[in-house]
């Protein structure tokens, strides 16, 4: 079975993370790594391949060319190869444009399963997988906490606010896995040392047949009009703990009907 | 809070990869449990096996025998990161590579390498190094364990003391007397367990509670001819050459403990409030911490220098002895500064300071005491005139 895993390089979380006021986009300089939720998707793909005893795990990503450094972590874990769409014309793509480009790349790969992590740590949208499934006209299941693939179909347990759904779907399908699904493995030292030698194709939009006006800012349907820091909370109350701190906090909560 | 250590020039991509993997694994899978494991005197064998799965347990075992085939510098970096999380865990890796795989690689024949190395690399087997005896520690040449020749090999009789990994070991590198008294009568052997070998209970000790340390009793334990490691009578030479590398690993372990102690001292002093602010305002806190920070960098560079000499195939006996002598002393001092900085909390088992204090001391003792290291250095300086 051929499995595609969509992955993304994100800036490391921390106080240094910022929006660039000039481009009004996330500042992607500084330390970066693979979106940690994607590791659950990679892990699941590897387990499915290992259980089947055959198959291929292909990583599909869009980003700057230097993103290959982060993507290699998933190759070190055991993925077979990577396809990175890296093109100046793709910079600033929103959900609409990104899902179009990814769908084009996935059409070319024609996998039986497309796996996503639950969300990306930088933009936190948690909808890209739905848009990609829509474009590919494939069934989609999100927030999967248990997965079984057998007899040409999947059975998934879907985590919701109210309990669990059990969903069956034919293949091919697009799946977004929850971080509770599995514990991503550590890459082995041999895996790390061998990752560089695995196939890593960097492709342009034109290679995928993506029209210039369907990607980047031109292909996006959202614009950022302004950036503002969150307003300061004027009504902050500071409680000094002189031994009665707990009671004061309780009184504060009761007064506002939180307790 | 993490303090960036001094890094020598010219680390290779593979050395850096091993270092980063070890740091990630140690910080996520070892450090959060170290206090609990040590308090319970639990040897975390399952974690040692996982280290095997990711290639860190048999780091220096060549690829043709199932390991990643990395070098002494990588082993020093990995040992240090593991020791920074838990000194006892780092010992298991150090022994597997430095004292078990290393003599098999150096003196073993092809059959012995094929038999033992792949399973030592994967973590299926653990090994130990049976050299020290109750009455032969620093004075190795006086060891008394006897190997009586039989038609097919030997029968080994005698006791071995302070055997690290002994309680979990499936492979034993044994040094026994096949000939006359003195240095030339000692041979090395490698064997699995069997009748005639009994493993004693864990020896209670000051620290390293996650590391197995036992006494081994050999009573007419049979070792076939095929178990002889290297030539008959060459055992002591092999033992000492093995320790040349082992010292570098102990130095790395000392650096790891010292770094952990420094980091705890810095983060505690930054948070701890006294006299209207953090105690990190006081020179009385600054000076000892600043001093150990400088010494740790020096110790680390000495250690990695010795490792790089070994990797370049150059003499490194004295360099390793200097690294171990210095780094072990820095570890003991750093742990002391850490406990002192934390005051009463430093003395309590609620913090890791007291563990660093207990774990640091062994680095001045095993694989050659600090006194022996000074002898090694002096012999290098004075040659024959030192004897």
Coil, helix or strand for B329? helix
Could you tell me if A48 and A150 are in contact, meaning their C-beta atoms sit under 8 angstroms apart?
no
Domain of A125, CATH number, reads 3.40.50.620
Q: Does the residue A191 lie in any domain?
A: yes
CATH class label, B128-233: mainly beta
Average pLDDT estimate for A12-31: 81
- Band (pLDDT 50/70/90 cuts) for residue B62 is very high
Q: What is the pLDDT of residue B231?
A: 95
Q: What is the pLDDT of residue A13?
A: 78
The 10s digit of each residue's pLDDT in A88-102 is: 999 989 999 999 999
**ipTM score above 0.90:** no
A190/B21 Cβ within 8 A = no
- Contacts of residue A44, Cβ cutoff 8 Å, sequence gap at least 6: A115, A147, A177, A181, A182
Q: Does the residue A72 lie in any domain?
A: yes
What is the domain partition of chain B in residue ranges? 13-126, 128-233, 237-386
pLDDT above 80 (res B65): yes
- Contacts of residue A250, Cβ cutoff 8 Å, sequence gap at least 6: A259
Peptide bond into A172 cis (omega under 30): yes
The 10s digit of each residue's pLDDT in B298-356 is: 999 999 999 999 999 999 999 999 999 999 999 999 999 999 999 999 999 999 999 99
What is the domain extent for residue A122? 2-214
Q: Does the residue A235 lie in any domain?
A: no
The third-level CATH classification (topology) of the domain covering B237-386 is Butyryl-CoA Dehydrogenase, subunit A; domain 3 (1.20.140)
- Radius of gyration in angstroms for the set of CA atoms belonging to chain A, rounded to a whole number: 21
The 10s digit of each residue's pLDDT in A147-181 is: 999 989 999 999 999 999 999 999 999 999 999 99
The 10s digit of each residue's pLDDT in B130-171 is: 999 998 888 888 999 999 999 899 999 999 999 999 999 999
Q: Does the residue A225 lie in any domain?
A: no
The 10s digit of each residue's pLDDT in A50-99 is: 999 999 999 999 999 999 999 999 999 999 999 999 999 999 899 999 99
Q: How far, in Å, CA of B13 to CA of A194, rounded? A: 12
Average pLDDT estimate for B22-34: 97
Architecture field, domain B13-126: Orthogonal Bundle (1.10)
Burial class from Cβ neighbours inside 10 Å (0-12, 13-18, 19+) for residue A247 reads exposed
**Cross-strand pairs, A26:** A19
pLDDT above 80 (res A259): no
Q: Does the residue A252 lie in any domain?
A: no
- Band (pLDDT 50/70/90 cuts) for residue A183 is very high
Closest-CA residue to A140 (of A126, A130, A150, A155): A130
Interface of A with B in 133-172 (CB under 8 A): none
CA B220-B226-B232 angle, 5° bins:
80
Residue B150 has a CB neighbour count (10 Å cut-off) of: 13
A133: Cα separation from own chain's centroid:
14
Comparing alpha-carbon positions, the chain B residue that sits nearest to A186 is B54
Q: How far, in Å, CA of A41 to CA of A44, rounded? A: 5
Q: Does the residue A238 lie in any domain?
A: no
B146-149 vs A173-177, strand pairing mode: unpaired
Average pLDDT estimate for B35-40: 97
pLDDT above 80 (res A235): no
What is this structure's pTM? 0.88
Tally of domains in chain A: 1
Residues in chain B closer than 8 A to A195 (CB atoms): none
Q: Does the residue A21 lie in any domain?
A: yes
- Band (pLDDT 50/70/90 cuts) for residue B386 is confident
Could you tell me if A25 and A19 are in contact, meaning their C-beta atoms sit under 8 angstroms apart?
yes
Minimal C-alpha gap between A20 and chain B (Å): 28
Give catalytic status of residue B367 as yes or no: yes
Q: Is residue A33 within 8 angstroms of chain B, CB to CB?
A: no
Q: Does the residue A251 lie in any domain?
A: no
Q: What is the pLDDT of residue A24?
A: 83
Could you tell me if B370 and B329 are in contact, meaning their C-beta atoms sit under 8 angstroms apart?
yes
């Amino acid at each position: 079975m051929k499995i595609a895993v969509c992955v993304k390089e994100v800036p490391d979380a921390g106080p240094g993370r910022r929006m660039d006021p000039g481009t009004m986009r996330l500042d992607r300089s500084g330390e970066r790594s693979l979106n940690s939720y994607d590791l659950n998707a990679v892990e699941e793909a590897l387990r499915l391949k290992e259980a089947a005893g055959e198959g291929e795990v292909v990583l599909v990503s869009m980003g700057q060319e230097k993103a290959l450094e982060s993507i290699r972590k998933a190759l070190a874990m055991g993925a077979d190869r990577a396809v990175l769409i890296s093109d100046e014309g793709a910079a600033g793509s929103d959900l609409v444009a990104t899902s179009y480009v990814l769908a084009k790349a996935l059409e070319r790969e024609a996998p039986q399963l497309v796996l996503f992590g639950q969300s990306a740590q930088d933009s936190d949208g948690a909808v890209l997988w739905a848009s990609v499934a829509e474009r590919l006209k494939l069934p989609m299941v999100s927030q999967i906490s248990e997965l079984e693939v057998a007899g040409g179909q999947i059975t998934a347990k879907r985590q919701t606010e109210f309990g669990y759904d059990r969903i069956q779907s034919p293949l091919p399908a697009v799946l977004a896995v929850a971080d509770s699904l599995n514990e991503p493995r550590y890459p082995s030292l041999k895996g790390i040392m061998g990752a560089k030698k695995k196939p890593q194709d960097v492709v342009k939009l034109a290679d995928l047949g993506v029209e210039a006006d369907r990607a980047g800012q031109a292909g996006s349907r959202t614009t950022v009009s302004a950036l503002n820091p969150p307003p300061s909370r004027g009504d902050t109350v500071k409680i000094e703990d002189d031994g009665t701190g707990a009671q004061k906090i309780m009184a504060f909560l009761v007064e506002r009907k939180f307790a | 809070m993490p303090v960036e250590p001094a890094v020598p020039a010219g680390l290779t991509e593979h050395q850096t990869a091993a270092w980063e993997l070890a740091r990630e694994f140690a910080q996520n899978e070892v450090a959060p449990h170290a206090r609990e494991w040590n308090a319970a005197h639990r040897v975390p064998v399952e974690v040692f096996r996982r280290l095997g799965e990711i290639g860190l347990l048999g780091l220096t075992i060549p690829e043709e025998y199932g390991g990643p085939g990395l070098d002494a510098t990588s082993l020093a970096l990995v040992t240090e990161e593991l020791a920074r999380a838990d000194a006892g865990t780092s010992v298991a890796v150090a022994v597997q590579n430095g004292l078990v795989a290393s003599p098999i690689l150096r003196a073993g024949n092809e059959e012995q390498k094929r038999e033992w190395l792949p399973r030592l690399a994967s973590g299926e087997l653990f090994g130990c190094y049976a050299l020290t005896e109750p009455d032969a520690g620093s004075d190795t040449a006086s060891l008394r364990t006897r190997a009586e020749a039989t038609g097919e090999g030997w029968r080994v009789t005698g006791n071995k003391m302070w055997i690290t990994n002994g309680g979990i070991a499936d492979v034993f590198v044994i040094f026994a007397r096949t000939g006359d008294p003195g240095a030339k009568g000692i041979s090395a052997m490698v064997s699995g367990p069997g009748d005639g070998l009994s493993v004693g209970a864990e020896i209670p000790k000051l620290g390293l509670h996650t590391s197995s340390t036992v006494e081994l009793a050999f009573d007419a334990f049979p070792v076939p001819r095929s178990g002889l490691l290297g030539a008959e009578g060459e055992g002591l030479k092999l033992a000492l050459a093995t320790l040349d590398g082992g010292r570098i690993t102990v130095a790395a372990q000392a650096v790891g403990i010292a770094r952990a102690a420094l980091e705890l001292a810095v983060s505690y002093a930054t948070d701890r409030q006294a006299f209207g602010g953090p105690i990190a305002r006081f020179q009385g806190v600054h000076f000892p911490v600043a001093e150990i920070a400088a010494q740790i960098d020096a110790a680390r560079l000495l250690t990695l220098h010795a490792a790089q000499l070994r990797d370049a195939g150059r003499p490194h006996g004295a360099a390793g002895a200097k690294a171990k002598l210095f780094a072990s002393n820095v570890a003991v001092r750093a742990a002391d500064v850490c406990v002192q900085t934390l005051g009463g909390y430093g003395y309590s088992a609620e913090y890791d300071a007291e563990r660093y204090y207990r774990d640091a001391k062994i680095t001045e003792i095993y694989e050659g005491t600090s006194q022996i290291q000074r002898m090694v250095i002096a012999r290098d300086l004075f040659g024959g005139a030192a004897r």
